[in-house]
Chain A
Amino acid sequence: MMPLLVTGLLTLAAMCCLALGMERHFHAWLGRAATPRQRKDLRLAGWFLLAGAIALSIRHWGASIGPVIWLGVLTFAILGVALILAVRGR
């Protein structure tokens, strides 16, 4: 369960960064506009975290099963971010 949790948290963090890298969501979440530089950095951080999560799951589950589990985790990371945004965006 532990590797799943770590992969899940990494992917969730990555998706948070990617969502905050979008103008609309940044504003909805933090209540202010992001500078283009901030958005670019967030997107970059998001992709790095995502790569880290894939690497971790391949390391733990192997090259054939790892990507399958990571894609499954990705689904719920996206939903998690959408739920956070829905609650924050009230």
Chain B
Amino acid sequence: MSPLGKALMGLHAWGGMIFSWLLIPVFITGSIAVFEPEVSQWMQPELTAHPTRPSNAVALAEAHLNEHASDQSFWRIRLPSEREPHIGVAWGKNPRQLHEETLDAVSGEPLHERETEGGHFFTHFHADLLLGAPGRWIVGAAGIVMLAALVSGILIHHRFFAEFFTLRPRAGKRRAWLDVHNLTGVASLPFLLMITYTGCVILAETFMPAATRALYDGNPRANRAEVVKSFERKPSGVPAGMLPLATHLAAAEAILGEGKVSSLLVRHPGDRNGLVQAYRHVDDRLAAVSDHVTFDAANGTLFGQQTEWNPMTYAYRAQVGLHTAHFGGLSLRWLYFLSGLLGALMMAAGTALLLRKRRQRAGEDRPQRLLDALGAASIPGSILASLAYLAANRLIPAETGGRETLEIAAFFSVWAITLIHALLRRRRAWHEQFVAASAACVLLALADTYSGGLVDAARRGVDLTLLATGALLFASSRRFFRTGDAT
């Protein structure tokens, strides 16, 4: 191998493995995040799913808000959709801190669902590890290393085309792991390059704030405000009646398209200067830009609309859209979910290869044990932590105060336990954690099925996915880790 090849190999293997401890959990939680609403539905069995018409839902929401929030400055209504088949209402004085409630789409009764971060936890962890700006720095850095590892991986893969379809599961362990690593990497390369690049682009504002500093005095909102028009005005203090929100909805649908309104925002309800703003769904377009129209709340005249955007906005939001996958429907969500898990499998196989190579050279020394343990904690360990989060959701009583924090604590404590377990049990830990994760998948699916999960489509989907994951984890635990010989 040429000196350049050797240098690239070192970067690829070590850079890849060290950052994979973080990237594998980020890929796993990111894949789950594709199904965020479905996971939230699973985690809140109190939520109902009844089909309804948008105009009915808006009338129910309006009645609820009139009763409970007539003196508030902001109302927000999320209309029921196929994926979130209930009404979301929110109100308050500050648009960034609204009190939220969920209503049944047909009766309009509050559902009093349990407090939980739901599926959003996975999105949140995926984006910033729950650490805010420092977390975005860490994830962004890992993303850049991932890009470097992908490119160096292509360069050092000598037989890229000759071994294009090659998988030899019965060959020696090194050969088999290398085939899995190469095949999953090559097959999902378009997805991996796209998802890593767009992820870095989304985070770029955090780690390259120079442009915002120079042009907008360091205020990213000023940048956004220049692109997203806002149609606002001060309240007059003069009370006035409002047209029914259903009337505004019909007017908005005439502009945005029938059934295309995702949410309404009412500013200063009951005031002469009240405004009703309607936002459009982004689920049928690649670029995640939400067109919006605003009407005068009292007489329904058009106050402003934004249905065309400048080309840079489309270019940037297309990258955000490509990453968040709200377009393309169910087929695309499954492709993203499975491709993300393939990415995690590719990294796991790479880790297994490097651990094996180092063990053959250095034996079971102390650093080897640590590297082995970190690998176990990142691969089966992060799966176990995610399952612990779901299990905590069912084990912590629905009315416990602060239960959403306890659920997240369950995630991180089980993750820490998997690391300690891996340090204590050494290489046997891999097999044991895979078996434990597989058992947890099956138990969670069965527990949910027997507690009424069959009636709800989203919950059925999550349960079936858990069962399939359990079977796959068990198969891989037998195939690869039977003798405690992880690598």
Contact = CB atoms under 8 A, between A and B. Distances in A.
Nearest to B327: A65
B169 A69 contact: no
B328 A68 contact: yes
Contact of B165 (A19, A76, A90): A19
Contacts of A72: 191, 332, 335-336, 339
B190 A25 contact: no
B188 interface: yes
B169 A86 contact: yes
Contact of A78 (B164, B169, B335, B338): B164
Contacts of B331: 1, 4, 69
A20 to B, nearest CB: 10
- The binding surface of chain A is classed by DSSP as helix
B286 A68 contact: yes
A81 B165 contact: yes
A83 interface: yes
B405 interface: no
Which has the most chain B C-beta neighbours within 10 Å: A1, A61, A64, A68? A68
A82 interface: yes
B202 to A, nearest CB: 17
Nearest to A66: B328
A75 interface: yes
Which has the most chain B C-beta neighbours within 10 Å: A19, A24, A75? A75
Interface in A1-38: 1, 4, 15, 19, 22, 24-25
B166 interface: yes
A83 B202 CA distance: 35
B328 A82 contact: no
Contacts of A82: 165-167, 183, 187
A75 B191 contact: yes
Given A4-B331, A68-B322, A25 B336 contact: no
B168 interface: yes
A74 B328 CA distance: 16
B328 A65 contact: yes
Given A65-B328, A78-B165, A85-B165, A73 B335 contact: yes
A79 B100 CA distance: 45
B187 A86 contact: no
B168 A79 contact: no
A80 to B, nearest CB: 10
B191 A71 contact: yes
A79 B285 CA distance: 28
Contacts of A25: 165
Contacts of B336: 72
B96 interface: no
A78 B328 CA distance: 22
10 contacts: A22-B165, A61-B328, A64-B318, A65-B332, A69-B335, A73-B335, A79-B183, A82-B167, A82-B183, A82-B187
Given A61-B328, A64-B318, A76-B338, 16 more contacts: A19-B164, A22-B165, A64-B285, A65-B332, A69-B328, A71-B191, A74-B187, A75-B190, A75-B342, A76-B335, A78-B164, A78-B186, A79-B342, A82-B165, A85-B165, A86-B167
